[in-house]
Amino acid sequence: MNHHSFFATSPLGLELLLAEELRGLGVLDAKEGRAGVSFSADLQAAYRVCLWSRLANRVLLKLASFPSPDPQALYQGIADIDWAEHLRPDASLAVDFSSSRSQISHTQFGAQKVKDAIVDQFRELCGERPSVRLDRPDVRVNVYLDKDLASVGLDLSGESLHKRGYRLEGGVAPLKENLAAAILLRAGWPRLAIETGTLIDPMCGSGTLLIEAAWMAADIAPGLMRDHFGFLGWKNHQAAIWDALITEAETRRELGLNRQFSITGYDLDHRAVHAALDNIDRAGLRGRVQVERKAAAQARPHHPAGLLVVNPPYGERLGDAQTLGALYTELGQTLQTHFQGWKASVFTGNPDLAFKLGIRARRFYKLYNGALECKLFNFEVQPEFFFIPHEDESGLSEEARGARALMRRARSQALRSGSGPGAEMFANRLRKNLKNLGGWARRSGVSCYRLYDADLPEYAVAVDVYQGEQTWLHVQEYEAPASVDPQKAEGRLVEALSMMPKVLEIPPENLYLKIRRRQKGVAQYEKQAQAGKFFVVEEGGCRFWVNFEDYLDTGLFLDHRPTRRMIQDMARDKQFLNLFAYTGSATVHAAVGGAAGTTTVDMSNTYLDWARRNLELNGIKGYRHELIQADCLNWLEEQSAQRERQYDLIFLDPPTFSNSKRMGGAFDIQRDHVDLLAKAASLLKPEGVLIFSTNFRKFKLDLDELDDWEIADISPKTIPKDFERNPRIHYCWTLKARIR
């Protein structure tokens, strides 16, 4: 399909954000300019931007650019374009003309010259001429004159893309939909929609922020409700491409509306509430977005974390700024009193009023509401003193309840002055490790690493550092032997926990503890908690969701970091298979490394959904990246018998033992590894490579039974520096077909 040059226009201040959005839609060469982004792509990509961009105003197909110092030059330049390629003689057209710093400054006159040149060309060629129709013409021509240089394009959008099709009644001063989307993006809502799914707008007006937030959470294309686009009457319109994109978007909407999220709006004006409910209904969100008539000060959270986003009046059209200080002060008090642990975003055209909130902004962004310069302030609502709310622990495992109790003790101890010699000894070791390993991590570009691993026998914990937008500590207690007094062991653990936030200089709430006990049966897979908090970290150019509380592991095995990087380096143009895939981190590395296709197999729907979200976080979607929910043993049995699938690169990291009810029987890695490896290797292409890893410390590879394969022990190469004290954390081999 041929590539064309396009320009997507946007409100001022959104250019960088729009460029990021277009890259996420598959446009690789998006380059931001003033009030828009230029890019080169095929027609399918341009259609996708029209359908999926939440930020753009228009998408223009560039036709020509030429000097226009006077009306005759403008007329001739337009006449030199072959308009028969774009519209029929009996079609309708409209011309949008704008000018800046040019001799032709009268926009109506300029539009008339452009229209004359087009219709005169048709009259001379066929004796017919297109008609002029300002409302929904077959083709809309856009001409922009800057310093006497004319840029001519076809408007593929037809009318501004911010018009989604759901809003009929806008309220007193409604936000445009693409500005509302920009506010939500800058507020971090797409990530929070997955982490908490909870949003409140306490001054929702006609509901624009609510609807845009729900459409983001439900993966609904912002252009899906529109009944008109500018390309529909264009002579070169490719209907089959467009229909396929619509079908895909409808499927994604249907799936997305099954996702769980909680979006609520409040407004004291009953007319605004009715307008919001009508708009929500037209947006297809009846029952999914709630609106109540209530003052902003009465807003209350129904979830321990989420996003409060609000566009309060700021003395422009809606009220006198001098009388609004009390409103902002009251909003700040509501946030601090009732929304601890939440994130808040306040959009205002009067920054002085924002200081009335009484909360220090974490970040702010300059945006424009029309021509008015505004600012979006992002806050993290945290108490000035330590506070532990009462928590419902009914859904927690015994280990998770114990961990929370220990954390409460540790935080209370941290607040008391002074510490014992044992705690200081542990803190000194932590500082030493932080200096050495922290320096290595920074030099190596490693953001998640093991800082401490039972270095001091008295403090038997593993401490992992995770760095993203914040720094988090994930701490795992090693079960003490029976000879150790449990009360002493618990006391030392509390001492260690109390020192960690001080040494790492992190908030106490960024410390997470796991009490590990020897797991039997299916217990190793059971959920430990229901917090649902996910955070984003980076590794080797890839991004991953991690969860520190709900599962025994975080979703990213840090000791496999070199192995994943090896997979990324080997995967270009290859077909990759990830068995017992867990959260799909190896698949992400393979895809980012340029794999031609990936197959990810795991028995758990929870982990497969996690893997899907990891892939999407890295912009990886489509049929080339297959996710299969299956018992890996049964799946391998079937595939090795059929021999229809063949892979260049396979990663196999099975559990040590499993007797899950969903598997056919008990699995033991030592007993069953020969059969497992043989079946997996049967799916290799002739030059393919299988990477096999296990964390069973007593494992012995049966080389005699695997003599058909060329096997290399690469374990030393796959043990990262932060795990060198524990070189038996895992073993790793490569298998290739032996050349006979």
Q: What are 470-529's pLDDT values in tens digits? A: 899 999 888 766 666 777 777 888 888 888 988 998 888 888 988 765 444 434 444 555
Query: Which tokens sit at 353?
Result: 């009023």
**Residue 271 above 70 pLDDT?**
yes
Q: Verify that 645 and 515 share a domain, yes or no.
A: no
At residue 658, the pLDDT reads 78
Within this chain, do residues 290 and 372 fall inside the same structural domain, yes or no?
yes
- Domain CATH for 312: 3.40.50.150
Q: So what's the pLDDT on residue 522? A: 38
**pLDDT of 173 strictly over 60:** no
Q: Which domain holds residue 332?
A: 177-218+259-380
In a domain, 546, yes or no: no
Domain of 520, CATH number, reads 3.30.750.80
The stretch 128-155 carries a mean pLDDT of 93
C-alpha dist (Å) from residue 280 to 206, 208, 276, 291: 9, 9, 6, 9
In angstroms, the Cα distances linking 35 to 1, 60, 96, 272, 365 are: 28, 13, 16, 31, 16
Helix (H) or strand (E) holding 561: helix 561-570
Tell whether 604 and 679 lie within a shared domain.
yes
Measured CA to CA, the distance from residue 229 to residue 463 in angstroms comes to 55
Mean pLDDT of 365-390: 72
Clarify whether residues 363 and 266 are in a common domain.
yes
Taking 50 as the threshold, does the pLDDT of residue 329 lie above it? Answer: yes
Q: What separation, in Å, do the N-terminal and C-terminal C-alpha atoms of the chain show?
A: 46
Choice among 127-136, 578-587, 673-682 with the minimum mean pLDDT? 127-136
pLDDT tens digits along 114-129: 999 999 999 998 888 9
697 and 652 both lie in a single domain: yes
Task: Tell me what pLDDT residue 531 has.
Answer: 60
CATH number of the domain where residue 55 is located: 3.30.2130.30
**SS (HEC) of 434-459:** HHHHHHHHHHHCCCEEEEEECCCCCC
Task: Tell me, yes or no, whether 504 lies in a domain.
Answer: yes
Let me know whether 151 and 182 are in one domain.
no
Mean pLDDT of the chain: 88
73-103 pLDDT per residue, tens: 999 999 999 999 999 999 999 999 999 898 9
pLDDT band for position 707 (cuts 50, 70, 90): confident
Domain membership of residue 124 (yes or no) is yes
| 231-249 pLDDT per residue, tens | 999 999 999 999 999 999 9
The contacts of residue 553 (CB under 8 Å, 6+ apart) are none
Residue 290 pLDDT grade (very low, low, confident, very high; cuts 50, 70, 90): very high
Give percent of the chain with pLDDT exceeding 70.
89
| 480 and 615 housed in the same domain | no
- Of the ranges 201-210, 329-338, 552-561, which one carries the lowest mean pLDDT score? 329-338
In a domain, 296, yes or no: yes
Question: 535 in a domain, yes or no?
Answer: no
Domain end residue (candidates: 475, 506, 525) = 525
Same domain, 126 and 67: yes
The predicted model scores a pTM of 0.55
Specify whether 484 is located in the same domain as 518: yes
Residues 150/65, Cβ–Cβ less than 8 Å: yes
548: in domain: no
Instruction: Identify the pLDDT of residue 713.
Output: 96
Domain boundary among 354, 380, 406: 380
Number of domains in the chain: 4
Helices 208-217 + 177-186 axis angle, to 10: 60
pLDDT at res. 497: 87
291-301 core/surface letters (b: 16 or more CB in 10 A; e: else): beebebeebeb
Going edge to edge, which strands form the sheet with 307-310? 289-293, 262-267, 198-201, 307-310, 343-348, 372-380, 363-369
Instruction: Tell me the two tokens of residue 367.
Output: 């945006």
Beta partners for residue 624, in sequence order: none
Which of 94, 213, 208, 220 is CA-nearest to residue 162? 208
Helices (H), 133-238: 177-186, 189-195, 208-217
The pair phi, psi for residue 397, each rounded to 5°, is -70, 165
Task: Report the distance separating Cα 159 and Cα 182, nearest Å.
Answer: 19
In a domain, 135, yes or no: yes
Q: Domain for residue 537, yes or no?
A: no
